[in-house]
Amino acid sequence: MDREIAVSLRGVSRSFGETRAVSSLDLEIERGSIHGLLGPNGSGKSTTMKMVMGLLKPDAGVIDVYGKDPQRDPIGVKRIVGYVPETPRLYEYLTGLEYLDFVADVYGVDPEVKEERIYEFLDAFGLDGRENEMISGYSHGMKQKTALIGALLHRPRLLILDEPLGGLDPKSARIVKDILQRLSGEGVTTIFSTHIMEIADALCDRISVLYNGEKLGEGSPAELREMAGRPRSTLEEVFLMLTGADDVAEIVDALMG
Amino acid sequence: MNLRNALRLARIFSLSASRAKSDDGGAPEGLASRPVTNLIASPIAFILAAAFTCLVMGSKMDAFILQVLALQFSVFMPAFTMFMSMVYSLMTEFSKSGEATSTDIVNWLPIQAGDFVAGSVLTTLYFVSPMASLLLGFAFGISFLAGSLGIWVVGAFVSVLGCILGALALEIARGALNRASGAFSGVGGQGAVILRMVLSVAIIVAISMMFNFSMMMRVVAWFSSGLAGIRFVPVLWPSMIVLEQASGNTYGAAIYACLSGLLLAAVYIASVRVRELYWAPAPVSLKMKPVRMSRSRGFLGTLGFDSGEAAVIRKDLKSLLRRREMAAILAIPVMVLLMGFMGTPIDMLMDPSAPYESKSTFLFQCAFAVLVLELQLALNAVGQEREEFINLLSAPMDAGQLLKAKASSALLPALPVLALLSILVSLLASIDAVTMIALILLGGTLLAAVTTVELAVGARYAIFTSSGRTRFVTQEGTIIGMLLGMATVGASLSPFALHFILEYVSIPIAYVLTLGTTLVVACFGLRVARRELEELYEYNY
């Protein structure tokens, strides 16, 4: 059976002044897959996601999202994408329910199903009973959950989640993982970045390791281990080896005397 | 109070205020990033103002007029500097969120409330010093020419006292606002939210008015036939020192100096006490009534807005009622309106036989208040999104939809005010229905023109970063917005000049020309605003 490519990047580059954030990046992400972007801070994960979303213009290269170019048809792309930035920015003077109502209306969710869908998610994420409180009184985790619900409300075909599990308690993190896996089964593609290797290992069909804006490796977690010549290592060890940071023990020794 | 702590805090506050002025959230470079700029600007402003006054006035004014002017300036200076430091702080500091200002410092550092108040007052003094120096320079020039430098010295000294009083008053206002805000935290509901906003606006207006020289004179005039009651108005005591000294009554000047000292002590103690009690704001967690999710298109839908545009409008209207930063924006037109009411006796307003001209100042001030409200709402419409703008950028909305939503949310609150004003005008000026409709049409078009122009300016100079920011638009953008707002009104109404000044055309023709010009300005503003918003979408986030 032919692979259906949902998102592709070909030779995509992006610089900020003198700093090269992403360099000639090639990526193909299958429809319905969960694709992890793994890399240390400043490796180009967020920049890549924003370019796919159409929020950043690449200096070079071509991006295709379900047959649409984010630069030529940004509205078309945004209509089918759900996006959660690294730090969720919510209108703090709205209640959680008002915010979700706002998001649903902005994405044109059918008014007939809007309320039911919002309450389903609120219930699933354990926010029911708190939905009429102003977001200014929410904890970081609650804000993160509200942002995630907002990204899911319009049933996107592509989810772009920048560090989606940061600040979530174990139960909520598990709910997010289960939801992502279920959505994957329904054909929804997910791109997400994380620093947590266990999550990437357990959740991702494929992982791209980025470092200094370049792709160092790509494959399933098992393939990455093979690639690194360490089939029995943890993903964290593979990651540290690929990014040239496997001297952690020496650094700790030096620090601790 | 520990003076060393106060000086350290003042230095930190000045640095942070200087560095919070850049448009893009990054630290400005060069002289603009350093508080020392004010130390350089203040003496330059003083010397330039004094030299200018000496050169321009020296050859043209006779000695008697110069002496009168010198006295008036010296008496007026303390009251003006008091109001100036109050308004400066109001415009730049007030909208700062409680969390972003001092809570952590008060709670975690080994400092006392008095240190913080003193540091904050010193910072205000430092930032108003160029403007105060300009005023002192003018007064110096006049006093030098009039040969009354002795009175100037007293006036200048008391002006510093005025600045301190104004800055301290703001500290009380901040505390009172936090108290008012916290009081509603346990109540909840839309009613409590609206009441909180009304109370916030009332506090800002009341305190600003209390420290407004001209307003206090009007209040005094209300309660007494002459100026005999002036001695009962504490904010005028510093000015009375100068007045008594100028009239040779040293005893009287000493009494007012003592009274002013007592006033300063009382306001200082009150501001420290208020800070101790209320400054660290309790986290406000208001619970609202469940939102009703309509399955129909709703009122905005019937007006032609799509679901996304209607959602943005509803959100912005909630923002207007719920965000504390909006209190300062709403307070300014309320102050203008209040001054209009205070300036015209109610008997005269209600007397149908009173000449129209006697009511025109009041009517003009009402119209001005509506324009100021519209200017403020439109100018801040885009910047108020702050970092949450990412929600709109990542949503399937284009610049045209956003422009339509933002223009509408800025216009919607002003239109009912315009309608009320028109009814008021028809009652006071006894005008016929046709003229009334024509006025409403022209007023609405003029508001639309101001809205589009201010949206364009607001989009270009918007501040999207939240942390440490005191405003939604840069200072440069605010000034440009005000100037362009005035230019828009001037250009739109210019055809009326043909009738009233040059008497070239009749009123109906002047009206049609004015309406046409206003529409052209509105269309031009719309195009520029759209381009500015498109650039925001192009901007790389």
Tell me the pLDDT tens digit for each residue of A165-215.
877 778 778 888 888 888 999 999 999 998 777 778 888 999 998 988 999
Distance CA B518, CA B2 (A): 58
Q: Please tell me which residue of chain A has the smallest CA distance to B323.
A: A93
Chain A contact set for B541 (CB, 8 A): 50, 55-56
pLDDT band at B32 (very low <50, low <70, confident <90, very high): low
Distance CA B251, CA B249 (A): 5
A138 to chain B, minimum CA–CA distance in Å?
8
B97 has a pLDDT exceeding 70: no
* A197 contacts A236 by C-beta, under 8 angstroms: yes
Q: Which stretch of DSSP H or E encloses residue B540?
A: none
Beta strands across the sheet bearing A189-194: A81-84, A158-162, A189-194, A34-38, A206-211, A214-219
Say what the pLDDT of residue A121 is: 92
CB contact under 8 A, B285 and A56: no
Q: Please tell me which residue of chain A has the smallest CA distance to B186.
A: A133
Query: Could you say which of A57, A79, A91 has the minimum Cβ distance to residue B315?
Result: A91
Of chain B, the end-to-end C-alpha distance in Å amounts to: 45
Q: Please tell me which residue of chain A has the smallest CA distance to B390.
A: A89
CB contact under 8 A, B285 and A136: yes
* B127 contacts B38 by C-beta, under 8 angstroms: yes
pTM (2 d.p.): 0.76
Distance CA B166, CA B365 (A): 25
Tokens of B69: 């002017």
pLDDT band at B243 (very low <50, low <70, confident <90, very high): confident
Kindly state whether B283 is in contact with chain A, defined as any CB-CB distance less than 8 angstroms.
yes
Distance CA A8, CA B525 (A): 40
pLDDT digits (tens, 9 = 90+) for A91-137: 988 999 999 999 999 999 998 899 999 999 999 888 888 898 889 88
* B309 contacts B404 by C-beta, under 8 angstroms: yes
Average pLDDT over residues B40-54: 89
* Most confident region among B82-91, B216-225, B392-401 by mean pLDDT: B392-401
Q: Return phi, psi of residue B387, to 5°.
A: -70, -15
Q: Which residue has tokens 């007026």?
A: B76
A234 to chain B, minimum CA–CA distance in Å?
35
DSSP state, residue B382: T
Query: What letters, b where the CB count within 10 A reaches 16 and e where it falls short, cover B167-190?
Result: bbbbbbbbbbbbbbbbbbbeebee
CB contact under 8 A, A55 and B283: no
Distance CA B471, CA B384 (A): 8
A59 to chain B, minimum CA–CA distance in Å?
11
Average pLDDT over residues B431-455: 88
Q: What percent of chain B has pLDDT over 90?
A: 24
CB contact under 8 A, B393 and A89: no
Instruction: Please classify residue A129 by burial: count the beta carbons closer than 10 Å to its beta carbon, then call 0-12 exposed, 13-18 middle and 19+ buried.
Output: exposed
Q: Which residue has tokens 């600045």?
A: B163
B293 has a pLDDT exceeding 70: yes
Distance CA A221, CA A244 (A): 18
Among A140-154, B35-49, B384-398, B525-539, name the one with the lowest average pLDDT. B35-49
B446 to chain A, minimum CA–CA distance in Å?
30
Say what the pLDDT of residue B211 is: 59
Average pLDDT over residues B41-53: 90
Kindly state whether A85 is in contact with chain B, defined as any CB-CB distance less than 8 angstroms.
yes
- Please identify among residues 397-436 of chain B the ones whose CB lies closer than 8 Å to any CB of chain A: 397-398
Distance CA B132, CA B272 (A): 25
CB contact under 8 A, B293 and A131: no
Question: What average pLDDT does chain A have?
Answer: 88
Cα-based distances in Å from A213 to A40, B239, B490: 10, 66, 54
Among A46-55, A228-237, B216-225, name the one with the lowest average pLDDT. B216-225
Which string of DSSP letters, residue by residue, matches B62-79?
-HHHHHHHHHHHHHHHHH
B438 has a pLDDT exceeding 90: no
pLDDT band at B103 (very low <50, low <70, confident <90, very high): very low
Cα-based distances in Å from B32 to B43, B88, B460: 17, 18, 20
- Please identify among residues 154-213 of chain A the ones whose CB lies closer than 8 Å to any CB of chain B: none
Chain A contact set for B398 (CB, 8 A): 74-75
Q: Return phi, psi of residue B282, to 5°.
A: -70, 140
Mutation choice for B interface testing from A77, A93, A159 by most B CBs within 10 A: A93
Distance CA B45, CA B51 (A): 10
CB contact under 8 A, B398 and A75: yes
CB-based contacts of A127-133 (< 8 A; 24+ apart in sequence):
A127/A96, A130/A96, A131/A95, A131/A96, A131/A97, A131/A100, A131/B290, A132/A95, A132/A96, A132/A97, A132/B287, A132/B288, A132/B289, A132/B290, A132/B291, A133/A95, A133/A96, A133/B285, A133/B286, A133/B287, A133/B288
**What secondary structure, in 3-state letters, does B229-250 show?**
HHHHCHHHHHHHHHHHHHCCCH
CB contact under 8 A, A75 and B294: no
CB contact under 8 A, B288 and A91: no
Looking at per-residue pLDDT, the higher value among B251 and B185 belongs to B251
State which CATH number among 3.30.70.580, 1.10.10.10, 3.40.50.300, 3.40.50.10470 fits the domain covering A5-256.
3.40.50.300
Q: Please tell me which residue of chain B has the smallest CA distance to A147.
A: B391
Cα-based distances in Å from B33 to A11, B26, B318, B341: 40, 10, 35, 42
Say what the pLDDT of residue B95 is: 44
Mutation choice for A interface testing from B181, B388, B394 by most A CBs within 10 A: B394
Query: Could you say which of B284, B318, B396 has the minimum Cβ distance to residue A79?
Result: B396
CA torsion angle B75 B76 B78 B84 (round to 10):
180
CB contact under 8 A, A89 and B308: no
Instruction: Please classify residue B393 by burial: count the beta carbons closer than 10 Å to its beta carbon, then call 0-12 exposed, 13-18 middle and 19+ buried.
Output: buried
Cα-based distances in Å from A12 to A26, A27, A44: 7, 9, 11
Chain B contact set for A155 (CB, 8 A): none
Kindly state whether B533 is in contact with chain A, defined as any CB-CB distance less than 8 angstroms.
no
Chain A contact set for B322 (CB, 8 A): 93, 134
Instruction: Please classify residue B345 by burial: count the beta carbons closer than 10 Å to its beta carbon, then call 0-12 exposed, 13-18 middle and 19+ buried.
Output: middle
CB contact under 8 A, A57 and B322: no
Say what the pLDDT of residue B23 is: 47
- Please identify among residues 374-403 of chain B the ones whose CB lies closer than 8 Å to any CB of chain A: 386-398
pLDDT band at A27 (very low <50, low <70, confident <90, very high): very high
B277 has a pLDDT exceeding 90: no
Kindly state whether B315 is in contact with chain A, defined as any CB-CB distance less than 8 angstroms.
yes
pLDDT digits (tens, 9 = 90+) for B126-161: 888 888 898 899 889 888 888 888 888 998 999 999
Say whether the ipTM exceeds 0.85: yes
**Cα B165-B210-B45 angle, rounded to 5 deg:** 50
Domain boundary assignment for chain A: 5-256
Mutation choice for A interface testing from B193, B291, B384, B404 by most A CBs within 10 A: B291
pLDDT digits (tens, 9 = 90+) for B464-511: 876 555 678 887 888 899 999 999 999 988 888 777 777 777 888 888
A88 to chain B, minimum CA–CA distance in Å?
8
- Please identify among residues 34-53 of chain A the ones whose CB lies closer than 8 Å to any CB of chain B: 50, 53
Chain B contact set for A112 (CB, 8 A): 295
Distance CA B72, CA B243 (A): 9
Question: What average pLDDT does chain B have?
Answer: 80
Kindly state whether A256 is in contact with chain B, defined as any CB-CB distance less than 8 angstroms.
no
Distance CA B253, CA A77 (A): 74
Identity of residue B150? G
Looking at per-residue pLDDT, the higher value among B31 and B200 belongs to B200
CB contact under 8 A, A107 and B396: yes
SS3 (DSSP) at B419 = helix
B223 has a pLDDT exceeding 60: no
Cα-based distances in Å from B413 to B19, B71, B447, B528: 34, 45, 11, 23
Say what the pLDDT of residue B102 is: 46
CB contact under 8 A, A75 and B396: yes
CB contact under 8 A, A89 and B319: no
Query: Could you say which of A75, A105, A131 has the minimum Cβ distance to residue B311?
Result: A105
